[in-house]
Structure 1
Amino acid sequence: MPLYKTITENSQTTVKIWKIEESYSELLAPITLRSESALRLSGMKSELHQRGFLSVRHLLAAFGYTDADLFYDANGKPHLKDGKYISITHSFTFSAVIISENEVGIDIEKQREKIIKIASKFVEYEFEYLKDDDTDYINRLTVIWGAKESLYKLFATPGMLFKKHFFVIPFCMTDLETVAWIDYNGLKKRYTTKFLEFEGFTCAYALG
């Protein structure tokens, strides 16, 4: 399947989501990869990850970019050669790219019960408004994880901890957005975080 969804957040920021239904060979055929990218692709042990990697290149093409326009810094953060900000994510059968004139981060997560078992590793403040008997408990935990992962990708700074440095204020699933804060080494910044659900997945993205 080609492009699954396009979200035009504003004149400066666009999100594109891909549903990965094509085979590895179908995804690879129309794409030209730099030697570094081809080497990275061949080193991936899972075909699911390979297909996710290639689907991101299709998303780049949908934005008018090629693999040659993308590079990564020492912390693994992606950048575009034209100076625009980019963030990338893929999870199982979905991938997404956000491109903006401002700093951004994006994450897609599959909604799974296992997130309850690991909640204490990335949630502290948020437990003040979460109740584990809420019918949407898993969904809200997934939004919180996605919001924090988006901020982590936005900053890409070693030493940042989801539980200690990122805070998501109370929200309802019907809000489709919330506010997330970062408090790290004297830096305090506020970010609007949008989120949406589709086919058992949650996508969250932080807007700088």
Structure 2
Amino acid sequence: MSTPDGPRVNQLDRVKQEYTQAAREILRRSMRGVAKTKLTPDMLTLVGVALCLAGAVLVGFETRNAYLFFWLGGVLFVIGSIADILDGALARAAGKGTVFGAFLDSTFDRVGEAAMLAAIGLSFMHDSNEIALMAAFAAVIGSFLVSYTRARAEALGLRGDVGFGSRVERVVLIAVGLFLAPWGWLQWPIYVLAVLAWLTVGQRILFVRRQLRELAETAS
């Protein structure tokens, strides 16, 4: 059974949709001034991925100074991720969005996140923490699948944005992990990230299946 707004979603997903829409509106309004400049969404995308990659490189040197390289790498990753979020807001505020820009943004989002998780995995390898290393691998694969399941659902004309393992939540977990890393607690947010990502993948698969069933029932 579907509602006027589309397929049913649970209360948690409805809450997420509401705060996501509110955040997007705030970002769109905040970018109105920037929209009048020559800055383009593609520029923000490139700056964002460059900062994320630089942060990942710094984390790779954490054995030399854990506080400096974990925290500095984390700061660059967060700033780069914010830039990746703002490029969409700028595109909406300035009407500068393009199909290629959206493609570029979604592609580079994966690059920055995967690079940081790879650097974190390298840190686990240095510590001979094989369980955490496998969790980092699982987090990378799960993160890619979270994005892929949404893209495939939308290509079919369906919704695929349910679950709490989207990019913002993943960035927060990685940032928390990098902050806690000098005290040896990096693995715990990565465990949560891996589990959350795969739960979200499962949610999205089931949600797409439900939408297809509802469409079939409506057509019959």
For the criterion TM > 0.5, the same-fold answer is no
Which structure carries more helix by proportion?
2
User: TM-score, with normalisation over the residues of structure 1?
Assistant: 0.29
Greater C-alpha radius of gyration: 2
Which structure ranks higher in relative contact order (CA pairs < 8 Å, sequence separation ≥ 6)? 2
Which structure carries more strand by proportion?
1
User: TM-score, with normalisation over the residues of structure 2?
Assistant: 0.28
